């Protein structure tokens, strides 16, 4: 299939582009390369790979590219509450306006697979439990925009929304500001971390399993279209403290401390069910422990903070 991947040089896209090409799809990446990344250099030899340096807010550019593709995967975004708070105008125009514009250009026959976020659950119900039918309580501007976009997405007859858990793992366009990546980086380099509200839970998923779920969605589109799916590790609904304990088992010299006087600005606290996506035959390959071990190897090569989004 001919696939348009916006933000394809980013943290997820750098993995997904390679995986799509390996499955013999034709992939066009539209990215502004705002981080100066070279994460797709190794794919330039591939005859089915095309790249466009541009901005998803350029409606005429987007319109022309949408017309000639079968599948649209809009990854381009300013991701995470801190970055969206830092650049509110950019976040709104990229995360919301450009997607609404994209949806207005896509035909009824084209397929759209979009990453959204399970941070939209906020704190879940009284037991912090969440599935795809749970009421949404987005707390950050990032999550609020994703909820509004998902509502519009579900009006399209050939769409899938993947509500991603907190992603972790090594990628050619690395991010250190994600929780597992951040804590492991601190364990390797600082040997300690200070926790705020350490009992707050969230779910996790490896970046390669995120790529895998997009391939799964393409290959099982008929039975998955027009639906929303949580995508995470069912065995990894972990609090920050529990995550630190997992890291400490692998890096014994790592220490973590609770600061009871401060609050976490990100108030997410929920336990997520991934039963629905698993019922389609999808099963993640990467555990939290395997991801931590991978990150430790990666952090032997990365010794600065330039890989954060902010």
The tens digit of pLDDT for each residue in 67-110 reads 999 999 999 999 888 888 889 999 999 999 999 999 999 999 99
Comparing 33-42, 50-59, 169-178, 298-307, the range with the smallest average pLDDT is 298-307
Position 121 pLDDT exceeds 80: yes
Q: Can you give the pLDDT at residue 23? A: 97
247 close to 193: Cβ distance less than 8 angstroms: no
Average pLDDT rounded to a whole number, residues 176-183: 95
Q: Can you give the pLDDT at residue 266? A: 67
Q: Can you give the pLDDT at residue 81? A: 80
Q: Can you give the pLDDT at residue 38? A: 93
Q: Can you give the pLDDT at residue 308? A: 63
Q: Can you give the pLDDT at residue 198? A: 93
Structure tokens at 91: 């976040």
Position 127 pLDDT exceeds 90: no
Q: Please, which residues bridge with residue 73 across strands?
A: 5
| Helices 13-22 and 207-219: angle between axes, nearest 10 degrees | 40
- What does the pLDDT look like over 241-279, one tens digit per residue? 999 999 999 999 999 999 877 776 667 889 999 999 999
Q: From CA 310, how far away is CA 34, in angstroms rounded?
A: 12
The H-assigned helical ranges of 170-225 are: 179-189, 207-219, 221-224
Look up the pTM and report it: 0.94
DSSP-assigned letters across all residues of 35-102: T---TTGGGTT-TTEEEEE--TT-HHHHHHHHHT-SEEEE-----SHHHHHHSHHHHHIIIIIHHHHH
Give the domains, in start order, of the chain with CATH numbers. 2-168+204-232+272-285 (3.40.50.720)
Q: Can you give the pLDDT at residue 190? A: 94
Q: Can you give the pLDDT at residue 309? A: 62
- What does the pLDDT look like over 212-233, one tens digit per residue? 999 999 999 999 999 999 999 9
Quote the mean pLDDT of the chain: 93
């Amino acid at each position: 299939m001919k696939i348009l991947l916006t933000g394809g040089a980013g943290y997820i896209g750098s993995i997904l582009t390679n995986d799509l090409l390996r499955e013999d799809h034709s992939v066009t990446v539209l990215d502004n390369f705002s981080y100066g990344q070279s994460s797709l250099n190794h794919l330039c030899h591939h005859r089915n790979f095309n790249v466009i340096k541009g901005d998803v807010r350029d409606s005429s550019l987007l319109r022309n590219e949408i017309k000639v593709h079968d599948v649209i995967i809009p990854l381009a975004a300013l991701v995470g509450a801190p970055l969206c708070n830092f650049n509110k105008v950019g976040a709104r125009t990229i995360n919301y306006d450009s997607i609404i514009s994209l949806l207005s250009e896509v035909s009824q026959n084209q397929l759209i697979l979009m990453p959204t976020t399970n941070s939209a659950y906020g704190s879940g119900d009284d037991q912090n439990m969440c599935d795809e039918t749970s009421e949404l309580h987005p707390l950050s501007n990032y999550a609020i925009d994703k909820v509004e976009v998902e509502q519009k997405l579900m009006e399209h007859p050939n769409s899938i929304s993947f509500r991603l858990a907190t992603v972790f793992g090594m990628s050619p366009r690395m991010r250190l500001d994600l929780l597992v990546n951040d804590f492991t980086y601190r364990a390797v380099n600082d040997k300690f971390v200070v926790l705020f509200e350490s009992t707050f839970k969230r779910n996790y998923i490896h970046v390669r399993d995120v790529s895998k779920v997009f391939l799964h969605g393409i290959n099982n589109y008929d039975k998955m279209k027009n639906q929303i799916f949580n995508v995470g590790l069912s065995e990894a609904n972990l609090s920050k403290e529990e995550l630190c304990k997992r890291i400490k088992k692998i890096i014994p010299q790592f220490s973590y401390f609770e600061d009871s006087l401060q609050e976490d600005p990100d108030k997410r606290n929920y336990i997520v069910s991934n039963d629905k996506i698993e019922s389609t035959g999808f099963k993640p390959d990467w555990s939290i422990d395997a991801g931590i071990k991978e990150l430790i190897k990666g952090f032997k090569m990365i010794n600065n903070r330039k890989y954060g989004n902010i």
